[in-house]
Amino acid sequence: MFTLPFPAKFSLQRYLFKRLKRENKTELTARRIYILPSREGMTFAIVIFLLLSGAMNYNNSLLFIYTFLLAGMGIITMYHTHNNLLHVVCHAVATPAVFAGEKLHVPVQLFLKPGQTNTRYSLELKLANIKFKNKKDRLKTDEQNQYFDLQPAENRQACFIINTEKRGYTDPPELILASRYPFGLLRAWSNLLLEQKYLVYPRPLSKAALEKINFSSEDGKGDTGKGFDEFKELREKQPSDSYTHVHWKAYARNETMLVKQYGGSVSENIFLRWDDFPQFDTEKRLSLLCRLLIDASQQQQIFSLQLPGELIPPGTGKVHLHQCLKALALFPATSEAGL
């Protein structure tokens, strides 16, 4: 059967993005810059056409000159608009990971290739919003359009906020850098498909959902159950104690530094295991583990994580938490079938 080479509702931008490879740093070269007359440019062309027909009809030399001057300016503008984008370099900057459902801030850095001396005016950086079909969503993303000039030595950062749905690595959104400078008769643009791996942790299970879960099963909780909400005792801080174990709330109340004393026994450590929650599907399990990891970390407990094929040894602190959450985020979605 005959099929169209593009979807029934053809989108130029979608087509242009399809041809691109992700790049960490993109320099706008002549090959990547597209240019088309804007709506104003079309009106301008109509005016020129009217003037030309007037000049031809009246055989009016000065009107001819004037018309050709206008047309010439229109043509030359093409070159200027194009040059206004040329040699702009874009680059997506790495940012800390977020949890699924949170907003991800994508900082995009723009600067001119070294050696460029002309300021670029009225650049417009926007989300390409090729995914949205209805106008309302598109208008919402238009609120994030950013307009700026770019000086030769300037390093400008534009930030885009995108919603995250899925855990794992997320790519920067499709961006468009455009300009209508100087006269708005033409619009030059370049499609930017930047490369940067933004990590999105799984969505942590809500506290309410956590309470509903029945932890009564002994083997389900194992040794870890006891030390969940309590710690052994509080004692006064000694110089050798780490500040991470200081009970800050108590300090605020009593003005004596108390240190949370964790027992030396294994049961004081939290050991989170994938296999402990066989009743849930993969995503829910990941969500739950995520929640438990966050809580454990907040309570300054030592915790370790065991996933199929991966064991993260006990530890504490932000880096450790990140390591655990990253393991959850990158946990293969299809492996459940194999278990």
How far is the C-alpha of 29 from the C-alpha of 89, rounded, in Å? 9
End-to-end CA distance of the chain: 42
Q: Which is closer to another protein, CB of 77 or CB of 164?
A: 77
**Which residue, 56 or 209, is less far from another protein as judged by CB?**
56
Question: CB 177 → another protein: shortest distance, Å?
Answer: 14
The rounded distance, in Å, linking the Cα atoms of 229 and 210 is: 14
Kindly state the smallest distance separating residue 192's Cβ from another protein, in Å: 19
- Using a 10 angstrom Cβ sphere, with 0-12 exposed, 13-18 middle and 19 or more buried, the burial of residue 175 is buried
Tokens (6 digits) for 37? 């007359």
Task: Please say which residue, 51 or 192, places its beta carbon nearer to another protein.
Answer: 51
Question: In terms of CB distance, is 138 or 237 closer to another protein?
Answer: 138
Residues 6+ apart with CB under 8 A from 136: none
Rounded distance, CA 17 to CA 124, Å?
18
Q: Where do contacts with another protein occur on this chain (CB under 8 A)?
A: 30-31, 39-40, 43-44, 47, 50-51, 53-54, 56-73, 75-77, 80, 121-122, 124, 147-149, 180-184
Shortest distance, CB of residue 36 to another protein, whole angstroms? Answer: 16
Would you say 174 and 106 are in contact if contact means Cβ atoms under 8 Å apart? no
Q: Which is nearer to another protein, 121 or 280 (CB)?
A: 121
Residue 48 C-beta: closest distance to another protein, Å = 9
Minimal distance in Å, beta carbon 224 to another protein?
A: 44
- Using the minimum distance from each CB to another protein, give the nearer residue, 3 or 59: 59
Q: Rounded to whole angstroms, how far apart are CA atoms 42 and 298?
A: 61
Q: How far is the CB of 20 from another protein (least distance, A)?
A: 16
Q: Tell me if 34 sits within 8 A of 19, measured CB to CB.
A: no
> How far is C-alpha 334 from the geometric centre of its chain's CA atoms?
24
